[in-house]
C-alpha cells in the first residue's frame, strides 16, 4: 500500500510539472523561464570561482528582449569613432575583429564620459560583447572606477542591442577619487622618470608598489589599481593593474595577464628592449620585504606555477633573457612607505630556500610558504600550454593616426588621442 502511495505521489509531481511548463510555454514565458534558469547556474558558477582565487572574472548579465522593443532603447550619443589604439600598448584591442574594435572604442569613450547605456555602433553578438569587455578591462587600468560587472540586452538571434556599464563606489565622488589616484601614481612616476633605463624604471616601480601595498583578500575595490595605489591594500588584480598603469604612463608596454596559479590569478607582462618578460608583483610582495623570485621570468620558468587563460594566451611569448636574474639578495628592499631612488636594503635578507605558492589552503593567491628545494612541485603546465612563440606580433604602431589613442607619460590617468592632445581626465 505504501509503495502504491509513493507511486501516485511521483505521478502527481510529474503531472504538476508538466502542467506548469505547459502554462509557461503557452503564455510566452518560456524564454523568461530559461533565462532565470541560466542566470541561476551562471551565479552558481560565479560563486564557485570566487572561492578559487581573489581575481574576479569579469561578469556580464544579459536579458532577452523582443525585436519590437529594440527601437525604443535609450542611447548615448558617444560612439567612440574618433579613436584608434596602438596595439603595442593595448594588445587586447589588436585581438578583436573590425566590428569588435568599433564597439571597444565605443565602450572606452562612454566609460571615460561616465555614461551608463548605449546601443553598439556595429552589429555584435553576445559572445562578441564578452570578448570586447574583457579586452577593454584588460587594456585600461585607468578605468579604475568601473565595476567588474556589466549588463547587456540581446534579441532572439543572439545580437547584442544595448550595453550597460556599471561603476563602483568611486563614481560617487569622481573628482576627489581622480585627484587621490593621480597623486598616488605621480609620487612613483616622478621618481621613476629620473632613472635612465626601462629596466631600472621597471624594478623601481615593482619595489615601490610592493612597499606601498599590503596583500589583503578583504580589501575594498580590490580589482582596481585604485585599491593598491590609494588604499594600500589589494589582491593580485589590484597589484597588476597598478603596475600596468604606472609602467604604461612611463611609456613602457606592460600588459595585464589573467590565468590560474593555485586559483584564479593575475600578473603582468613587460616589454623591455630585447623582448617580453613575466612579472608577478603580488607573489614578490612578502611580509619580510620585496623579493624577485617572480620578476622578469621566461615562460619556461613561469609555466610550473602560472597558466594563462582566455585572451591572455594570445599575448606574445616571453623568451627573452638579458634581464633575467639580475637582482641579488642585496637588492631586497625594505617595505616601508613609498621609496626614493636609493631603495634601502633590509638587513634580514630572505633565506636561500626556494619559495613557492602555498597550496591555497587559506584562499590567498599571493601568499607563500617555504619548502626545501627538493620539495618543489612538478610543473602543472605541460610545455604545450606555454604560449606559442608564433603568437601574434603586436609590435605595429599607429602613432601617425591623427586620433591614435596613445599613453601620455606626462598625463597619468589619461589615454590621449594622438595629435588632438585631448585630455579626458575628469
Q: What ranges do the domains of the chain cover?
A: 1-50, 174-385
pLDDT in tens, 54-85: 778 888 999 998 888 888 887 778 999 999 89
- Which one has a higher pLDDT value, 168 or 366? 168
Which whole number is the average pLDDT over 367-379?
30
Query: Is pLDDT of 188 > 80?
Result: yes
List, as one string, the DSSP characters of 312-371. Answer: GGGSPP----TTSS---GGGPBP-SSS--SSPPBPSSPPPSS-EEE--STT--SS-EEE-
96-145 pLDDT, tens digit per residue, is 999 999 999 999 999 999 999 999 999 999 999 999 999 999 999 999 99
What was the pLDDT predicted at 67?
83
Write the burial class of residue 85 (CB in 10 Å: 0-12 exposed, 13-18 middle, 19+ buried): buried
The better pLDDT of the pair 258, 18 is held by 258
Confidence tier at 24 by pLDDT (50, 70, 90): low
Kindly indicate the confidence band of residue 215, based on its pLDDT and cuts at 50, 70 and 90: very high
Q: How large a percentage of the chain has pLDDT more than 90?
A: 58
pLDDT of residue 305: 95
Q: Does position 237 have pLDDT exceeding 70, yes or no?
A: yes
C-alpha cell at 303: 609555466
Architecture of the domain made up of 174-385? Roll (3.10)
* Closest residue by Cα to residue 206 from 94, 119, 81, 290: 290
Q: Where are the beta strands (DSSP E) in 87-183?
A: 117-118, 124-125, 146-154, 159-167
32-59 pLDDT tens trace: 555 544 444 433 333 333 223 477 888 8
Q: What is the per-residue pLDDT across 306-347, written as a single tens digit (0 to 9) for each?
A: 999 999 999 999 999 999 999 864 455 444 344 444 333 222
Percent of the chain residues topping a pLDDT of 70: 65
Query: DSSP state, 229?
Result: I
User: For the chain, what is the radius of gyration of the CA atoms?
Assistant: 24
241-288 pLDDT, tens digit per residue, is: 999 999 999 999 999 999 999 899 999 999 999 999 999 999 999 988
Amino acid at each position: 500500500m505504501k509503495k502504491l502511495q509513493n507511486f501516485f505521489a511521483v505521478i502527481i509531481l510529474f503531472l504538476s510539472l508538466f502542467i506548469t511548463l505547459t502554462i509557461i510555454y503557452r503564455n510566452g514565458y518560456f524564454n523568461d523561464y530559461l533565462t532565470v534558469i541560466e542566470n541561476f547556474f551562471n551565479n552558481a558558477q560565479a560563486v564557485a570561482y570566487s572561492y578559487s582565487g581573489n581575481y574576479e572574472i569579469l561578469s556580464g548579465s544579459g536579458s532577452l528582449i523582443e525585436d519590437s522593443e529594440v527601437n525604443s532603447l535609450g542611447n548615448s550619443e558617444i560612439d567612440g569613432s574618433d579613436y584608434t589604439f596602438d596595439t603595442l600598448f593595448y594588445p587586447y584591442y589588436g585581438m578583436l575583429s573590425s566590428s569588435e574594435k568599433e564597439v571597444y572604442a565605443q565602450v572606452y569613450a562612454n566609460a571615460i564620459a561616465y555614461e551608463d547605456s548605449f546601443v553598439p555602433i556595429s552589429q555584435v553578438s553576445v559572445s562578441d560583447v564578452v570578448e570586447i569587455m574583457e579586452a577593454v578591462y584588460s587594456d585600461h587600468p585607468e578605468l579604475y572606477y568601473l565595476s567588474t560587472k556589466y549588463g547587456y540586452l540581446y534579441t532572439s538571434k543572439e545580437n547584442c542591442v544595448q550595453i550597460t556599464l556599471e561603476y563602483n563606489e568611486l563614481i560617487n565622488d569622481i573628482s576627489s577619487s581622480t585627484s587621490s589616484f593621480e597623486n598616488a601614481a605621480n609620487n612613483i612616476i616622478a621618481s621613476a622618470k629620473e632613472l635612465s633605463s626601462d629596466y631600472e624604471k621597471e624594478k623601481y616601480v615593482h619595489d615601490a608598489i610592493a612597499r606601498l601595498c599590503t596583500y589583503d583578500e578583504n580589501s575594498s575595490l580590490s580589482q582596481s589599481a585604485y585599491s593598491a595605489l590609494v588604499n594600500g591594500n589589494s589582491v593580485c588584480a589590484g597589484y597588476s593593474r597598478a603596475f600596468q598603469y604606472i609602467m604604461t604612463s612611463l611609456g613602457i608596454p606592460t600588459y595585464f595577464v589573467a590565468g590560474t596559479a593555485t586559483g584564479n590569478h593575475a600578473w603582468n607582462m613587460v616589454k623591455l628592449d630585447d623582448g617580453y618578460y613575466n612579472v608577478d608583483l603580488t607573489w614578490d610582495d612578502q611580509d619580510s620585504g620585496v623579493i624577485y623570485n617572480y620578476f622578469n621570468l621566461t615562460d619556461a620558468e613561469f609555466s610550473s606555477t602560472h597558466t594563462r587563460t582566455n585572451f591572455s594566451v594570445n599575448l606574445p611569448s616571453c623568451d627573452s633573457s638579458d634581464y633575467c636574474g639580475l637582482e641579488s639578495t642585496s637588492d631586497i628592499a625594505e617595505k616601508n612607505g613609498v621609496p626614493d631612488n636609493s631603495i634601502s636594503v633590509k638587513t634580514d635578507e630572505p633565506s636561500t630556500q626556494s619559495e613557492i605558492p602555498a597550496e591555497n589552503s587559506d584562499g590567498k593567491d599571493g601568499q607563500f610558504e617555504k619548502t626545501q628545494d627538493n620539495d618543489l612541485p612538478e610543473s602543472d603546465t605541460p610545455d604545450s600550454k606555454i604560449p606559442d612563440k608564433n603568437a601574434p606580433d603586436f609590435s605595429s604602431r599607429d602613432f601617425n593616426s591623427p586620433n591614435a589613442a596613445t599613453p601620455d607619460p606626462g598625463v597619468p590617468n589619461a589615454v590621449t588621442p594622438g595629435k588632438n592632445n585631448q585630455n579626458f581626465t575628469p
